[in-house]
Amino acid sequence: MKIHVITLFPDLFPGPLGESIIGRALDSGVVELYLHNLRDHGEGPHKVVDDTAFGGGPGMVLKAGPLAASIEEARHGTAGGGRSDVPVVLMDPQGERLTQQVVDRFAGLDEMIIIAGRYEGIDERVRQRLVTHEVSIGDYVLTGGELPAMVFIEAIARRVPGVLGGEDSGKADSFASGLLQHPQYTRPAVWEDEAVPEILLSGDHARVDRWRREQSLLRTLQRRPDLLNSVDLLEWEREFLRELGWQS
Ligand code: ADE
C-alpha cells in the first residue's frame, strides 16, 4: 500500500512509524510512505503557504494553491503515475470519527493521500473540490494533523496483509471482533501470590477459547455495552450476557 502524506513538517515522519512492526512494514515495502512538503509549493520567494482568513479572525488558513499543487505532486509524482482516483483524506476534527470499521475500509485501498492540516484549517475550496474523505481521531483539537495522520497510518498499516506476524493476532484485537479483548497473562504463573486463572494452564484449547470469549463479553458489557448492539452474537453468548444483567 502506498501512503502519501502532505505536511509542513516532513521531518516528523516516520517518527514512531519507523519502529517495531510498522517500521518493518515500511522497510520491507509492504507499506510505502511518501512525504510531500507543502512548503515546496509555497508562493513567492518566502514560500508562503498560509494567509489570514477572509472576514477576519485569529489564525491562519492554508492557501488553496500550495495544497492543490501538493496533491497534484502526490498524484503524479513518486508513485501515483497520474491517477486521479486516489482518495484524498484530510485529517480534521470535523471529519468522520476514526473507528476500527473506518480503519478497515481504508486498509483495503492500494494508495491514498493524507493531508496533515495545520493552523485554523484549509481553504474551503480545496476541501470541496479535492478532498474526498475527512477523518478525525477524536473529539479534541490538536495543533496539527501530523499526529492524527500517524495514528491513522499505524491503525491502517497493521491491517494490511503481511504486516502482522501471526495471521490471527490482529483478529483478536479489541474492536477487530467488535468486542473488547479478553485479559492476558504470561509467565510466571504465580506473581506476588497471585495465580493466573487455572483454566489457562489446563491445555484444553476449547475451554480456553470459551473462557476468553466469555471474558471478552464480560469486559465489553462492563466497559462498552454500546458495542454489543453491533456484534453478531451466538445464542449462548446472548444468554451469557443476559445472566450478567444485559438488556439488549
Ligand atoms: N487535527 C487537529 N485535531 C485533529 C483531530 N482530533 N483529528 C484529526 N485531525 C486533527
For residue 81, give every residue at least 6 positions away whose Cβ sits within 8 Å of its Cβ, in sequence order, or none.
none
Known catalytic residue: 167? no
In the reported structure, the alpha carbon of residue 117 is separated from the centroid of ligand 1 by a whole-number distance in angstroms of 8
3-state SS class at 40: helix
Which ligand 1 atom is nearest residue 117's CA? Answer: 1
Look at ligand 1, atom 7, and give the residue with the nearest C-alpha. 136
Determine whether 165 is exposed, middle or buried from the number of CB atoms within 10 Å of its CB (0-12, 13-18, 19+): exposed
For residue 242, give every residue at least 6 positions away whose Cβ sits within 8 Å of its Cβ, in sequence order, or none.
248
Cα distance between residue 9 and residue 113, in whole Å = 16
Look at ligand 1, atom 2, and give the residue with the nearest C-alpha. 142
In this structure, the residues whose C-beta lies within 6 A of any atom of ligand 1 are: 91-93, 136-138, 140-142, 145, 148
pLDDT digits 0-9 by tens, 119-159: 789 999 999 999 999 999 999 999 999 999 999 999 999 99
Among 135, 12, 6, 143, smallest CA distance to 68 is for: 6
pLDDT of residue 165: 79
92, 134, 154: residue to mutate for ligand 1 pocket, most atoms within 8 A of CB: 92
Cα distance between residue 125 and residue 137, in whole Å = 23
Amino acid at 56: G
Known catalytic residue: 93? yes
Residues facing 3 on adjacent strands? 33, 112
Look at ligand 1, atom 5, and give the residue with the nearest C-alpha. 93
pTM summary value = 0.92
Percent of the chain with pLDDT over 70: 95
Known catalytic residue: 237? no
Region for 192 from its dihedrals, namely left if φ exceeds 0, alpha if ψ lies in -120 to 50, beta otherwise: left
pLDDT of residue 81: 63
Q: Which of 73, 93, 111, 237 is catalytic?
A: 93
Report the Cα 47 to chain-centroid distance in Å: 31
pLDDT digits 0-9 by tens, 152-202: 999 999 999 999 976 556 765 777 789 999 999 999 999 999 999 999 999
Known catalytic residue: 210? no
Determine whether 211 is exposed, middle or buried from the number of CB atoms within 10 Å of its CB (0-12, 13-18, 19+): middle
In the reported structure, the alpha carbon of residue 148 is separated from the centroid of ligand 1 by a whole-number distance in angstroms of 6
**What HEC string does 102-164 produce?**
HHHHHHCCCEEEEEECCCCCECHHHHHHCCCEEEECCCCCCCCCHHHHHHHHHHHHCCCCCCC
pLDDT digits 0-9 by tens, 36-88: 999 999 999 999 999 999 999 999 999 999 999 999 999 986 544 677 899 99
**What HEC string does 100-118 produce?**
HHHHHHHHCCCEEEEEECC
Percent of the chain with pLDDT over 90: 89
